[in-house]
Amino acid sequence: MTEQLFTILAALPHRLGDVVTRWSREAGEKLALVDPGGAWTYRDLERCVKETADWLASARVRPGDRVMIVSENCRAFAALFFGTLEIEAIPVPLNARLSARELSVIQQHCGARRVVYTVSASPYAFEHAKGVGAVMETVSDMGALGLGPLDETSTTDPVESDPVEAVGAIVYTSGTTGNPKGVMLTHRNLLFSSWVSVQVRSITSEDRLLGILSMAHATGLSIQFLGSLIIGASLYLIPRFDPMKVRTVLEKERLTVLYGVPFLFTQFLEYAKLRGIKSLHFPDLRLMSSSGAPLLPSVQVAVEELFGLPLHNGYGVTECSPVISVTRVGAPRRSGSAGPIYPWVEAKLMGQDQREVPDGEVGEVWVRGPNVMKGYYRAAEETAKVINAEGWFNTRDLARMEDGNLFIVGRTKELIIRFGFNVYPVEVEGVLNMFPGVARSAVIGRSVEDTGEQEIIAFIQLAADCRATTSELAKYAAQHLAPYKRPTKIHILSELPTTLSGKVMKDQLAKLLSKETTMA
């Protein structure tokens, strides 16, 4: 650790909750969070956090317990997140749009003592709460919350006294094995990443940010949510993207910063095209940034022409809290580049011979720094596979470095990027295979021209006596998968191509996509 990095880490708040306390004391009447239901100052936020902590403790949540927060973007999420940390429990933020099955799998994996649903702010959370018989309670200024049944069998984790090691959040991401992986991000991980993000983007306490990225995911949690609060800025939360609503908020609230995923920006392009709009001018908007999926140069150019502003870009993974590289404000940018490596983070590109590759050559991205996760929750073996003894994390993504800029050339094998979210085919296949009469399935991604997005294509081989239709299969997938994980198209084949060992040859399926008219 360099002396400069040591000085930076020493100057950071010790715990995540300290950012709320600091700004409540220094600028208590400053606007902190706004959502469709109202607004909180930093003093309001601190008060609600304390009241929420008392409520959770009265609900028999103990230090070291895990608390699942099933929510969409809203003020209640913030109070629950910090309130959980206040009593030294661990928040597990989850998008309310996940299916009941997905939530159940994660609950079993993390052994959550309680599940809390932000029912007033999210119809999806309300349905989930109703489905498990949650008790509806009104807490502080958050409106109604759904309190799920107490898990008496839940055990506590040891409480770390050192924030360097204490887990600040467990963020779930699907694993390549189809099993959920809980990424343990420490207080230091999240504070470092959020603090550096405001430095490289020149965010100040005077900024007003749009909060459209889901706070159940690493970028929305670390860069958007905590990044706004750590600098004392104001965050305007929107639970679901709608171009007309976002446009109205940008104009009315005179927002200065817009974070999004490529899908959001392509939707803005479609909105402008349908309405015959040549330009969208927001006088106060000064920064736009895209993350979560590869940004096509054609999309970048079109968005920049529409907004009249540069569209910045970055690259990261949940395990790195999540940013690894990002383009710099005011610095020259390379088309197609994810920018230079994050300050005070080390990165190297390794070849198949486990040696670093020179500039211009493709290698696997390895990262080391204060942003690298503590590990996967209850998965020591999985952690050991990706973090070596020297602290280097293997992203298993392929990239090349040119003139100090990182260019991502390939994602983890078979990974699909859909609406900015990671989708692992094996998880979708696992659901499809549970349908009665499905002999086997295979899922692959297909790029959608000029969008940077991918479609999810499923191939199904039915048992000899099964007569299921694609509509029935699609309905089943909709019941068991989050919207962004559901197959865009389903093809039923008489037999899937396999190797002699029985492994499905997905490269052959990809070739079939160009001949869809010949498929059964």
Strands 375-376 and 180-186: antiparallel
d(CA 423, CA 206): 36
- pLDDT truncated to tens, each residue of the chain (520 aa)? 578 888 888 889 999 999 999 999 999 999 999 999 999 999 999 999 999 999 999 999 999 999 999 999 999 999 999 999 999 999 999 999 999 999 999 999 999 999 999 999 999 999 999 999 999 999 989 999 999 999 999 999 999 988 888 999 999 986 444 567 999 999 999 999 999 999 999 999 999 999 999 999 999 999 999 999 999 999 999 998 899 999 999 999 999 999 998 888 988 998 998 999 999 999 999 999 998 777 778 789 999 999 999 999 999 999 999 999 999 998 867 777 899 999 999 999 998 888 999 999 988 999 999 999 999 999 999 999 999 999 999 998 888 999 999 998 765 567 788 887 878 787 788 889 889 988 889 999 888 876 667 899 999 999 888 989 999 999 999 999 999 999 999 999 998 887 644 568 887 888 888 766 444 4
Superfamily designation of domain 338-412: Luciferase; Domain 3 (2.30.38.10)
d(CA 315, CA 327): 9
Fold exhibited by the domain 1-186:
Rossmann fold (3.40.50)
| CA proximity to 406, closest of 352, 329, 328, 353 | 328
d(CA 404, CA 296): 20
Q: What is the pTM of this model?
A: 0.86
d(CA 2, CA 277): 50
Residues forming beta bridges with residue 440, ordered by sequence position: 461
d(CA 279, CA 272): 8
Task: Classify residue 60 as left (phi > 0), alpha (psi -120 to 50) or beta.
Answer: left
Distance of CA 3 to CAs 7, 163, 195, Å? Answer: 6, 20, 18
Residues forming beta bridges with residue 115, ordered by sequence position: 68
Strands 66-71 and 114-117: parallel
Phi then psi dihedrals of residue 304, to 5 deg: -65, -35
| CA proximity to 367, closest of 394, 398, 385 | 394
- Which amino acid is present at 479? Q
- Name, in order, each residue with C-beta under 8 angstroms of 507's C-beta and a sequence gap of 6 or more: none
d(CA 414, CA 394): 17
Domain boundaries, the chain: 1-186, 338-412, 416-518
Say which CATH class 416-518 falls into.
alpha beta
d(CA 302, CA 198): 26
